[in-house]
Homo-oligomer: A and B are copies of this chain.
Amino acid sequence: VVRRTSKNLSTAKKVSIREVADRAKVHLSTASRALDEVQSKRISTEVVERVRKVARELEYQPNAIAAGLRTNKSKTIGMLVPDIANPIFPLVFRGVEDCSSRNGYTALLANSDFDLKNEKRILNTFLARQIDGLILATARLKDTVIETARQRGIPVVSVMRTTEQENVPEVVGDTFAGVKLLVDHLHALGHRNIAAIAGPQFTSAGPAQVKAFREAVKIVGIQLRPHAIVVADDFSIEAGQRSARVLLSNSVRPTAIVACNDLFALGCLDVFSEFGLKCPSDISLTGYNDTPFLDRNNPPLTTIRVPFYHIGYEAVNQLLLRMANPDGPASVTSFPVELVVRRSTAQVP
Which residues of chain A have a CB within 8 Å of any CB of chain B? 4, 7, 9-14, 61-66, 68-69, 74, 76, 83-85, 87, 89-91, 93-94, 97, 101, 106-111, 121-122, 124-125, 127-130, 150-153, 166-167, 266, 269, 291-294, 296-300, 327
Contacts and interface: CB of A to CB of B under 8 A. Distances in A.
A110 B128 contact: no
Contacts of A166: 7
B110 A108 contact: no
Please list the 3 inter-chain residue pairs (A to B) with the smallest Cβ-Cβ separation, ordered nearest first: A298-B298, A64-B128, A85-B90
A152 B97 contact: no
A12 B74 CA distance: 19
Contacts of A83: 94
B85 A292 contact: yes
B298 A124 contact: no
A11 B293 contact: no
B64 A130 contact: yes
15 contacts: A10-B151, A11-B153, A64-B129, A66-B69, A84-B84, A84-B93, A85-B91, A94-B111, A97-B109, A97-B110, A101-B121, A106-B110, A107-B110, A293-B293, A298-B298
Nearest to A98: B111
Report copies per complex: 2
B90 A9 contact: no
Given A61-B124, A269-B296, 4 more contacts: A11-B150, A12-B151, A76-B129, A84-B94
Contact of A107 (B14, B61, B108, B152): B108
Contacts of A294: 293, 296
Contacts of A167: 9
A299 B298 CA distance: 8
A177 to B, nearest CB: 25
Contact of A125 (B65, B101, B110, B124): B101
A124 to B, nearest CB: 7
Contacts of A68: 65
A140 B151 CA distance: 45
Nearest to A153: B11
Contacts of A121: 101
Nearest to A13: B153
Contacts of A106: 108, 110, 125, 129
Contacts of A292: 85, 87
Contacts of A9: 150, 167
A66 B64 CA distance: 11
Contacts of A13: 153
A327 B106 CA distance: 30
A97 B69 contact: no
A49 to B, nearest CB: 22
Contacts of A69: 63, 65-66, 69
Contact of A87 (B11, B87, B101): B87
